[in-house]
Amino acid sequence: MTSTTAHSRRDDALETDDEFRARLRAFLTGHHPGRRPKDPAERLAWRKAWLATLFDAGYAGPSWPREYGGMELSFAQQVIYQEEYAKARVPGPLGTGLGIAAPTLIKYGTAEQKERFLRPMLRGDTVWAQGYSEPEAGSDLPALRTTARREGDEYVVNGQKVWNSAADLADIIFTLVRTGTRESRQQGITYLLVDAHAPGVTVRPLRDLTGDAHFCEIFFNDVRVPVSHRIGEENGGWPLVRTSLGHERAAGTMNQAAMYRRVLDELIELAHERGTTADPLVRDRLADLEVRVRIMRYTGMRTISDILAKGEPGPASSTSRLFTVTFEQDLHEFAVDMLGSHGVLGRHDPHAVQRGRWVWGFLRTRASTIGAGTAEIQRNTIAEQLLGLPRDPAVPDVVRPR
């Protein structure tokens, strides 16, 4: 532990929230990693170096237990952390492990697994990617077909996953496999950690509407995975899935709220620059977005409070997830409409406004209502588990996270 880390962890319990905010802001400003490199390899190294800087100085994992390298902040300070982090415009986490796999490991992993995997994940030394969805099993995860056959102290994994964020950067893929019969559905699912560099693992990037490759497909061909890399019991992976999905929807709620606070401020400034605020319809739309970004912040605070009180975000995480994805789609749709003819110019066009950022955001957020559980699934969860409405007979009961 560095002297900076020791100081921050010795004194933080005595700090006021304002003092914590000032200290965090000073650190983020004083250690800012600079502009993002254009070269992909340099950019990856730049992001890893930043995550290591955070960890070594004791500023990583605001909600993580201290025994695994986190800050274990109070509710109020977690909110402050996310707000200041978003304002600082520093790199975010690599992969999807921190918000999804880590809570699952902390709750269900063995002592050896926690010691081996958690700190390197938080420091950015290892990048984790999720392997849940399949071509024939998206929202209906119990229908997954990727198999794992046990041979002694190993599983032999065969199958395909799709829509996997950051799999092309990953060192570890946390995935769901079928160890029971196909008819066993959720009773035959096991949670495995797969070495992304192992023989038989093939990752192929998938290009999306923006022209970038944010997602990948993964192929497993006789991949050997040690039994020691199984989290929980064989055929007992479904409760772990529910933990993962709930935290995935809750993990970045406050960070997204703070980020979109800044994005909306920039959009309002752009509207002033272009003279469109004279239009009452534009002002009305901006006012609506202003109300919603404030609601997003309060919803994020409620989610963090639920996790601290209950250990799980529960079905309410579907509310924040649905609210956020519809907000970001509406915001970018409005931005493109406000730009008029410039709203069709991509980022490589010399006449594009602000390098085409709003058009890029419009295209990127088309997928928002699909990722981390479709908007339809979120609405079912809200209707049934929060509002107590009758269950939709068309959706298998096991799909609903508890």
Positions marked catalytic? 248
Residues 213/207, Cβ–Cβ less than 8 Å: yes
The two three-digit tokens of residue 113, written as one number: 């697994």
Please state, in angstroms and rounded to a whole number, the distance separating the CA atoms of residues 369 and 375.
5
Question: Which of helix, strand or coil describes residue 234?
Answer: coil
- Note the helical H segments in 40-152: 40-56, 75-88, 102-108, 111-123
Please state, in angstroms and rounded to a whole number, the distance separating the CA atoms of residues 85 and 24.
9
> Which own/partner contact pairs does 10-18 have at CB distance under 8 Å and 24+ positions apart?
12/71, 12/73, 12/77, 17/76, 17/77, 17/80
Q: What number of residues does the chain have?
A: 402
The two three-digit tokens of residue 19, written as one number: 């003092």
Please state, in angstroms and rounded to a whole number, the distance separating the CA atoms of residues 299 and 320.
6
Q: How far is CA 330 from CA 140, 264, 295, 335, 337, in A?
A: 27, 12, 15, 9, 10
Please state, in angstroms and rounded to a whole number, the distance separating the CA atoms of residues 70 and 249.
20
Residue 122's closest CA among 169, 66, 55, 73? 55
Q: Give DSSP secondary structure letters for 13-52.
A: GG--HHHHHHHHHHHHHHT---SPPSSHHHHHHHHHHHHH
Task: Compute the chain's Rg from CA coordinates.
Answer: 22
> If you search the block for the tokens 């419009």, which residue do you land on?
362
Please state, in angstroms and rounded to a whole number, the distance separating the CA atoms of residues 178 and 147.
5
Q: How far is CA 300 from CA 61, 84, 246, 311, 354, in A?
A: 17, 15, 13, 15, 29
Residue 50's closest CA among 76, 28, 66? 28
Question: Which of helix, strand or coil describes residue 284?
Answer: helix
